[in-house]
Amino acid sequence: MTVPSAYQRLTARFALIATIGECASMLGWDAAAVMPPGSGAARGDQLAVLAVLGHERLVAPDVAADLAVAETSDEWQAANLRLMRHAYARAKALPADLVEAQAKANSNCEKVWRIARKNADFRMVQPHLAEVLRLTREAAAALSDALGLSPYDALMDGYQHGIGADDVAPVFTAYEDFLTATLPEVEAYQARQPQAVLPAGPFPIGLQEAFCRDLAQRLGLDFDHARLDQSAHPFSGGTPTDVRITTRYVEDDVTSAILAVVHETGHALYERGLPSAYARQPVGEAAGMAVHESQSLIVEMQACRSDAFLGWMGGHLHATFGGSAEPYHLENLGRLWRRVERGFIRVDADELTYPAHVILRFRLEQAMIAGDLAVADLPGAWNDGLHALLGITPPDDAQGCLQDIHWYDGAFGYFPSYTLGAMSAAQLMRAARQQVSGIDDALGRGDLSPLLAWLRIHVHGIGSRLDLDTILEQATGSKLDPVAFQAHLRQRYLS
């Protein structure tokens, strides 16, 4: 019998760890989509056990021994080995009791947050968030020592490897300057346009569900390997062969459900397009959350809110929901779904003001991790920061610092990925249009396949073999270029 090599033993080990992670992902989907509210404590225990099991198998002594001697000349295997070593370094920095404590605290805080947000009562969740932050800062310090990064950069590294606060801060400062100059121009331009006409509801939930499922399928989602369900906060989860996306429906407005579905379908298409030959291996995973967000936003913002696609979408909506055809005409639908407006809620924000919401969170979470902002002072700092960026102040904490799940679930360092993804999406779409003829003609038929085929080659099929900048450089000819995003915004909203 042939003795497995060190690399082969590692691939078997990482496949097991990935499978444990898949189990946790499914329990997370269940908690958000169908779990009864009284099951939160038990679910926290279950997720903590899985977190510890995965951690223990990653930091086992035989993993270190194999990593020390494993070698390969294959490009994909070499990238896989590099990512394995990085994953080991992160895991080894964190003691098992801290991993378990974080899993329990995050799960507990997230459950309390749901109630606190509903009641607009930050004080209800404040002590739980304080505990999450305490443990996150402890983990960040340990990771900082192990990786040679600042504590905040060590957290960012867990979501988008290779990009730190010093890379992001000047990009965000430049965008803030762009927004300050451009937002009043766009508002004045919009004020000169005809008033948008709202489609008349109600929009029966059953019809919305059928429409959204058909739309996701038309965009390329294979429902032999996917589900569409409801949740309080739309998300994409599951595994590459069992993708779970969710949306939320309201009977008097069809917009939120549809736009959430196209966004989450973008995430799901990326997962479905990852290299199956390296399934359950680090190199076969997504190349980070900024790349993931670029794939949701290239579908939602770049493709499905384009003139071409909206022209098709309007007719499809009218055929489904009936009523007057006028609200579904391209010009009116564009004014409805591409309206720029200063608002309190990030997930409802237009693509021009959305980065302001991310910049706010980026600055606040840096301050919390550094110890410069106490949890008790978060609501006031949030309100002051949003007013400085957009000139508006939330009327309550549900529309302020309670609106996002991320911090209450322990996800510090994630938010920059949203705007890095939006900028990357604009750059990728510009390159796709230059390299593939007929993309907009196909979008005018509700057909994403030419764009999706290009993305399968230039993004999806690469997995984690390359980092964000290298993916962009190979696909578009340059590393991340925020100018492409700004040009897209000016073309869409000022012409």
Q: At 86, which amino acid appears?
A: H
Rounded to whole angstroms, the Cα distance separating 142 from 92 reads 9
> Cα dihedral sign for 325, 330, 335, 339?
positive
Lookup: tokens for 251: 């009977």
Contact (Cβ atoms closer than 8 angstroms) between residue 354 and residue 160: no
Rounded to whole angstroms, the Cα distance separating 417 from 404 reads 15
Return the active site residues.
264
Least Cα distance to 126 among 375, 405, 347, 301 occurs for: 375
Least Cα distance to 60 among 78, 87, 82 occurs for: 87
Instruction: Output Rg (C-alpha) for the chain, integer angstroms.
Output: 23
Q: How far is CA 475 from CA 65, 79, 109, 151, 152, in A?
A: 37, 19, 41, 32, 30
Rounded to whole angstroms, the Cα distance separating 59 from 64 reads 7
> Cα dihedral sign for 89, 95, 96, 98?
negative
**What residues contact residue 225 under an 8 Å CB cut-off, 6+ apart?**
241, 242, 243, 272
Lookup: tokens for 412: 């510090």
